[in-house]
Every structure is written in structure tokens, then in C-alpha cells.
Amino acid sequence: MGWASQVMIPAPPQLAASSWILIDAHSGAVIAEHNADERLPPASLTKMMTSYLLEYEIHQGTVELNDMVRISERAWRMPGSRMFVQEGTFVSIEDLLRGVIIQSGNDASVAVAEHLAGSETAFADLMNQHARLMGMTNTHFMNSTGLPDENHYSTARDLAILSRVKIMDYPEHYSIYSEREFTFNNIRQTNRNRLLWRDASVDGLKTGHTSEAGYCLAASAVRNDMRLISVVMGTRSDEARTQESQKLLSYGFRYFETPRLYQAYQDLDEARVWKGARTSVRVGLTEDLYATIPRGAQEQLQAEIVLHPNLQAPLVVGDQVGQLVISLNGEVVKQEPVFALENLERGGFFKRLWHSLIMFFSGLLS
């Protein structure tokens, strides 16, 4: 992350994998990466988007957890990992969600796709639309399962973006990713994410494997209110993806921290405003601000608010009035827009005229 010259932090671990990335969930900062933008087959990591779309529709109110889904012949015949649904039966949305997440069921994924979009092809189009909205610029989906297709690909970075959105946007469903087993149709299957057994701080997310993709794992863990997300792609075995993911997470937690520096709508400063009923307005952030920094370096952070010099009324809550710059040893760590936290109406005619003259002779008006 660029601080090696100022802070004693070892280089990130080198993994036996095709690509990987480690990010902080709150700040979005990338802590370590290797070939993170290489397009690779994502295998069943695809199902994170399948389950995300189902969670999205639940949140939108278009489907409910107790809705029943009729299983088609196509869903029933899907090869590979399965939930073991039966053709012609009805299965609840809640069970299908667990079937996708915990059992990595290809049959459950297709059932979800057909229920939400009418066909898997139409569902793949929805997947790609949502991927673009998230900023997943090197991803293209052809199906809901991750079964091999030359035009079906993603990257470690894009899958980390997806993981972060899932965790932050729909926390009410995220707990499913930590469940170690699920029994459906009297068939008990365990979660393939072995980190759930080895590390109590790990609570998700998803495994993937095909001969083309190798063994992949998107994982997330929380320690002392710091949440990290790792994505490791193209390892040689189930054990390898587990060990390599553990290395990344351990490195991040050992050498970094992500403190909350400021709260949303906290008063940070007052901005000078021209032509207003008052001469200043309170300013701050509209979201909590987190920064990922070397562990123990928080006292060395410096904050500077750079306000626009010629702000003029009227202003309303949410108008951008400047920038907050957080730096560490001269290097910018975070740069966020600063907004007005209150409305400010225009002043009277003579006040506006007087301020216009001052601004003109001060060079603030051209």
C-alpha cells in the first residue's frame, strides 16, 4: 500500500495461486494483490452473484422467503454439486438460498434463476447488469452456476467487490454464509469453506472448483471490528485454497487496522459562505469514514479540510463544499468530499450586493 519506507511492514505473502486480493470491507482499501485483474473462470464463486440477486429481490419485496418455487426438469437434471431438489416439487426461497450458499447447488441456482427471470439466459443478463452497476469491469456471466463457458469469467478484484457489496448491503442474509451444514430432502451436506472450522473469526463466503478454474475461495473474517475480505483463485486443492486464504487474512489482521476516523454528519468545520442569511454553514461527511492504515499509525495521521473559497448561498444539506484529505507521512490515505450539513438561505438584497463587491475586489468573482 505504499508505506514500506515509513512503517516497518513485511511484504505480503506470496501464494500458490493464479491470482488473489485482500481488501478491507469498511474502507475498501486494497491491502495486497497479485494478478487481481486477470480474467479467470470463477467456478462456483459465480453463485455469490446468484444469491446476491435473490437477496436483492427479497429486499425489494418482489419475493419472500416463504415463497414456493416449482422445480423444472432442467433444474433437476443439472450436473455437478447439487441440493437434490426433485422435478415438479415446490421448494421455498429460503431453502433455495441455503442450497445455493451452503450446498453450492447447481440445481438450486437454476431454480432461482428461472423463478426470478424466467430463464437462465435472462437471469445471466441481470447478473451482468448488476455487475456493471457494482463496478465489476472485468466480469461476464453466462450462467447462474459457474459451469465452464469460454465467455464466463471474472477476476479476484471483481469478486472482492461483489463480496463487499453482499456483506454491506444485506447483512440480514449474510449469516447464512457462516452456517456449516444444511439438510434438505434428508440429505445433509457441509459447507465447503473449511475456514469456518479452523478460524472462529471467519464467517463466509463461498468456495468454487472446476478443472478449468482450480480451487477458489472468497473468504471474510472479523477481528476487533475490522472486517477483511480475501479472494484466492486457481489453487491446486481444497487444502491449498484454505491455507493460502488463511495466510492473506492473517497478514492483514497482523499488520493493519481500520479505525473509524469520523462519523456520518459529525461537525467537522464551518465553511465561509457569501451572500447568505448567515456567513457560515456546518460541514461534514454523509457516511462514516474508515481508513486502513499500518497498525499503530493512527496517531500519525493528519487531516486537512480544503473548502471551496467562493461558496455562495443558497446551500442545501448534501451540497458538496470541499474535500477532506487524510494523509500519513505525506502520503494521501483517504480523500473524501465534504458536504453542507444544514440549509442556508440567500441573504437580503443589500447583503448580496455588498458581498458581490467584496468578492469582485478580492478576485473571487471573474
Query: Over the stretch 229-263, which tens digit does the pLDDT of each residue have?
Result: 999 999 999 999 999 999 999 999 999 999 999 99
Instruction: Report the pLDDT value the prediction gives residue 276, as an integer from 0 to 100.
Output: 73
Q: Which tens digit of pLDDT belongs to each residue from 53-81?
A: 999 999 999 999 999 999 999 999 999 99
Distances in Å between the Cα of 82 and the Cα atoms of 5, 138, 145, 232 are 50, 28, 11, 23
Other Cβ atoms within 10 Å of 255 Cβ, number: 18
**Has 44 been annotated as catalytic?**
yes
Is the pLDDT at 359 greater than 60, yes or no? Answer: no
pTM above 0.85, yes or no: yes
Instruction: Report the pLDDT value the prediction gives residue 201, as an integer from 0 to 100.
Output: 97
**Has 206 been annotated as catalytic?**
no
Instruction: Report the pLDDT value the prediction gives residue 170, as an integer from 0 to 100.
Output: 93
Using pLDDT thresholds of 50, 70 and 90, give the confidence band for residue 365.
Answer: low
Instruction: Report the pLDDT value the prediction gives residue 4, as an integer from 0 to 100.
Output: 42
Other Cβ atoms within 10 Å of 264 Cβ, number: 11
Take residue 244 and report the three cell numbers written for it: 493460502
Q: For 99-112, what is the mean pLDDT?
A: 97
HSE-up of residue 235 (Cα within 13 Å, Cβ side): 23
Query: Nearest-5° angle of CA 238, CA 242, CA 243?
Result: 120
Is the pLDDT at 363 greater than 80, yes or no? Answer: no
CA distance 254 to 120: 43
Instruction: Report the pLDDT value the prediction gives residue 362, as an integer from 0 to 100.
Output: 65
Instruction: Report the pLDDT value the prediction gives residue 357, as an integer from 0 to 100.
Output: 60
Q: For 197-214, what is the mean pLDDT?
A: 94
With the C-alpha atoms ordered 22, 27, 28, 29, is the resulting torsion angle positive or negative? negative
90-104, 132-146, 220-234, 275-289: least confident range: 275-289
Q: For 173-180, what is the mean pLDDT?
A: 95
CA distance 47 to 176: 14
Is the pLDDT at 184 greater than 60, yes or no? Answer: yes
What is the residue whose three cell numbers read 457569501? 274
Using pLDDT thresholds of 50, 70 and 90, give the confidence band for residue 311.
Answer: confident
104-108, 110-114, 265-269, 311-315: least confident range: 311-315
Domains in the chain, start-ordered, CATH in brackets?
A: 19-256 (3.40.710.10), 261-361 (2.60.410.10)
Is the pLDDT at 122 greater than 60, yes or no? Answer: yes
8 Å CB contact between 24 and 227: yes
Q: For 323-342, what is the mean pLDDT?
A: 92
Take residue 352 and report the three cell numbers written for it: 448580496
98-112, 245-259, 274-288: least confident range: 274-288
Distances in Å between the Cα of 158 and the Cα atoms of 66, 130, 193, 301 are 31, 12, 20, 30
Instruction: Report the pLDDT value the prediction gives residue 348, as an integer from 0 to 100.
Output: 59
Helix (H) and strand (E) counts in the chain: 10, 18
Q: Reduced to 3 DSSP states, what percent helix, strand and coil does the chain have, rounded to the nearest 5?
A: 30, 30, 40
| Mean pLDDT for the chain overall | 92
Catalytic entry in 27, 51, 104, 220: 104
Q: 314: cis peptide before it, omega within 30°?
A: yes
8 Å CB contact between 283 and 321: yes
8 Å CB contact between 219 and 202: yes
112-116, 148-152, 294-298: least confident range: 294-298
CA distance 82 to 179: 17
Give per-residue burial for 29-46: e unless 16+ CB within 10 Å, then b. Answer: bebbbbbbeeebbbbbbb
Residue 319 phi, psi (nearest 5): -70, 135
Strand residue runs (E) in 35-92:
68-70, 90-92
How remote is the C-alpha of 353 from its chain's centroid?
49
Catalytic entry in 19, 44, 109, 163: 44
